[in-house]
Structure 1
Amino acid sequence: MAPVQQIRVGVVGVGTMGSQVLRQLAMRGIEATGFERFELGHDRGAAGGQTRIFRIAYKEGGRYVPLLRAARRAWLELEERTGQRLFEPHGALTVGSAEDSDVRTVLEVARQWSIDGELVEESAYPQHRLFEGDLAFLDREGGLLHPARAVRAASSCALEAGASVHTGTYVEEVSESRTGVAVHYRREGRRHTEHFDQVIVCTGPWIGEAFPMLRRAVEVRRAVLCWFAGTDPGYWAPQRFPVGMRRSDGENRFSFFPDVGDGVKINLHVEKSTVPDPERLDPVVDTGYLRRVTSAVTRCLPGLRAEPLSVRTYMEGYTEDNHGIIGRVPGSPNILAMGGFSGHGFKLSPVFAEAVADLVCEGRTEWSVEHLGIERIAA
């Protein structure tokens, strides 16, 4: 698609969102330049942790279903274009109490939107121990995403379409100028400035550093992920142990991910600690937390060994309503912000990127992203 007019666009942060935005812009013939502080596909931001869940029967509500279905098509198209395995379509499970609000929402969304799925017996996925009152629902349209691989694939497509990327680049300031937007950055110890007509800032946990107005609106939280070994790795492979979430009573609440080489990943859904400074993410995990994770695993997934193989910490940005932010920054009409996706933005990144590219090129988008407007945060 040829742009209405030739413009230059900068993209600050070439991670989850930035790689997809850069690709969308380049495919439309826009002269686009990305700025990435680390290497492409790094694991320091919200895309870290090796794997991500994709589901259509969404606990966040039915308004996301059309976006999710479009995102699923986009992931498969990107996979076909690059020849990289990015999405493993083996379904997504919801396991838990029939009385849990998240479980009820998943079932209601599946019913309202005629999602391909069904309630399954415990014997279908015997890795899970179901308690009295529990059920298991398989969303056949769900699956597993490989984030680092996906970021590199989207970036590669952007480069092939004519975009450019500066890695190892620290952006110090993005500001409106008489000629558009100035991006001031350091690379190899030297300070540089480039000028653009518009700039999109999508720096994940660092979004508040770019926009002080978002520091209080986007809370950076630490995610502690644990990997566990099973006696038979094939028993926990994606084809036999789909990705999903657990919502049983008590502290039996977590997301689970199949073994893709390093063990079964578990993310315990308890209150996360805040990260005051993204530059100083605390890697130390206390033994009390590890006991809680291990207890949940022992109760719900008895085929896994009790002690984790590895434990790693990551960061994600959360808004008060757990919905992301997309929009033009108040007072800076040529700067757009994307951030605060609250742990569920990765799967939707191709569609969110298309919406932002629409805003840049056409000033409007047909995608239903009004609930992500920055106005609700900045008001």
Structure 2
Amino acid sequence: MKPRQQPSVAVIGVGTMGSQVLHTLAAAGVPASGFEQFDIGHERGAAGGETRIFRVAYKEGGSYVPLLHEARRAWDRLGEQAGVRLLDPCGALTIGSAQDPDVRTVLDVSEEWGLDVERLDRREAARRFPQHRLFDDDLVLLDRQGGLLHPRRAVTETALLARKAGAAIHTGHTVTDVVETGTGVAVHYRRGDETEVRVEKYDQAVVCTGPWITRSVPSLAREVDVRRAVLSWFEAGPRWAPENFPVGIRRSGGENALSFFPDVGCGVKINLHVPKSAVDDPDRLDPVVEPEYVSRVSAAVSRCLDGLPARPALVRTFMEGYTADNHGIIGRDPERPNVLIMGGFSGHGFKLAPVFARSAVDLLLTGRTDVPIDRLSLARLA
């Protein structure tokens, strides 16, 4: 009996999810081709910003904890294969009032799952992490399994591993349509500045185009909002390196709500958690940051951190896709049965990308997965 032939798969978008899907497919011996409109590791999509937080004590809920354990192991394995660290195990802090819902969830999840989370008293927190100004009702929680991800490095190294395993990756290729043929899909694309549309046929396709997902899958325009995030970097130094200043989130009331990231060469990154504006066209992301925003983030940093400059050295804008419930989407396109959709990960998909990729490949090859992704199903949005 001849061995069963693996289906060919096109992966549209080779960023956070696409690089992981390509690597997982190629490692399984599946013929796979990736189409990326920019270069690998570009910063125009949702993987931008130099650093990402990894947490196991998860404010988004305990149902993610098994996936996060698996993801941490996966990031370590990928780093070993690549020969470079992708996840820096510096720990992750949660600081804020016990009355804050996110802090409460972190506490509850830690207790429910027996996580390695240390609760520091104020004296110990001040001794170990003097960079933080603590308010009277702040708790300080250190997730020892947390750490710092390097997104550009992770995407480029994972794509390289995919290539080494046999995947083809086409950069500068803009996919204009993925058409269901009944027996597979036809991928329509343009190369570079060419106007000619070329077509290649595959058995299946995965569409994971990040902020461009609603253009790739127009039916998702009602379900996914693309939003503009503003990130700021403050000049720092060794005192703010990962070994001295773990990544984390702050929930100390009002605009004292932010994510903070250690200095890995470009300063301390701050993401102020304020409402994000809508992005109507991801090809025309507004790069202009209003002075009023810079004043707000500077004031929050002054209140919450000790020893950074009064103003950021750099501010930049990025994009992410959000669903109404802040959980991503993984599932078959009901209008194109041979197309699998991945998108709308609402700002917290990067850390879970290796696990989400495994679930997607399971669905492609067998029609089912043991990864608990029911809350990410398309059916919930019907």
TM-score category of the 2 structures, normalised to the smaller one: over 0.9
Q: CA deviation at 1:75?
A: 0.1
| The one of 204, 207, 221 aligned to 2:213 | 207
Distance 2:151 2:271 in 1: 16
Does residue 351 of structure 1 match 2:363?
A: no
Distance 1:131 1:178 in 2: 61
Indicate the residue corresponding to 1:198 in structure 2.
204
CA deviations over 1:129-185 (Å, ceiling 9, x no partner): 000100110000000000000001111111111110100000000110144101000
Specify every segment of 5 or more residues in structure 2 that has no aligned partner in the other structure, as ranges: none
Distance 1:319 1:17 in 2: 17
Tell me the amino acid that sits aligned with residue 235 of structure 2: A
Specify every segment of 5 or more residues in structure 1 that has no aligned partner in the other structure, as ranges: none
Does residue 250 of structure 1 match 2:217?
A: no
Q: CA deviation at 1:271?
A: 0.4
Indicate the residue corresponding to 1:157 in structure 2.
161
Indicate the residue corresponding to 2:318 in structure 1.
314
Count of aligned positions: 374
CA deviations over 1:98-147 (Å, ceiling 9, x no partner): 11110010011011111111112232211000001001100000000000
CA deviations over 1:252-296 (Å, ceiling 9, x no partner): 000000000010000000100010111110000111111110000
Provide the secondary structure at the position in 2 that maps to 1:360: helix
Tell me the amino acid that sits aligned with residue 176 of structure 1: E
| The one of 164, 167, 174 aligned to 2:171 | 167
Report the TM-score, using the length of structure 1 for normalisation.
0.97
Q: CA deviation at 1:323?
A: 0.1
Does residue 140 of structure 1 match 2:144?
A: yes
Identity among equivalent positions (%) equals 62
Distance 1:302 1:141 in 2: 25
Indicate the residue corresponding to 2:10 in structure 1.
10
Distance 1:58 1:213 in 2: 30
Provide the secondary structure at the position in 2 that maps to 1:315: strand
Indicate the residue corresponding to 1:69 in structure 2.
69
Indicate the residue corresponding to 2:269 in structure 1.
265
Distance 2:219 2:337 in 1: 15
Distance 1:159 1:250 in 2: 47
Tell me the amino acid that sits aligned with residue 233 of structure 2: W
Q: CA deviation at 1:331?
A: 2.1
Runs of 4+ in structure 1 off by over 4 angstroms are none
Provide the secondary structure at the position in 1 that maps to 2:277: coil
Tell me the amino acid that sits aligned with residue 286 of structure 2: D
Q: Contact 1:95–1:245 (CA<8 Å) still a contact in 2? A: yes
Provide the secondary structure at the position in 1 that maps to 2:17: helix
Distance 1:261 1:56 in 2: 25
Indicate the residue corresponding to 2:222 in structure 1.
216
Tell me the amino acid that sits aligned with residue 70 of structure 2: A
Distance 2:334 2:379 in 1: 8
CA deviations over 1:200-230 (Å, ceiling 9, x no partner): 0000000000111101210000010000013
Report the TM-score, using the length of structure 2 for normalisation.
0.97
Q: CA deviation at 1:6?
A: 2.0
| The one of 233, 241, 245 aligned to 2:245 | 241
Tell me the amino acid that sits aligned with residue 36 of structure 1: E
Residue correspondence of structure 1 range 312-351 to structure 2 within 5 A:
312-351=316-355
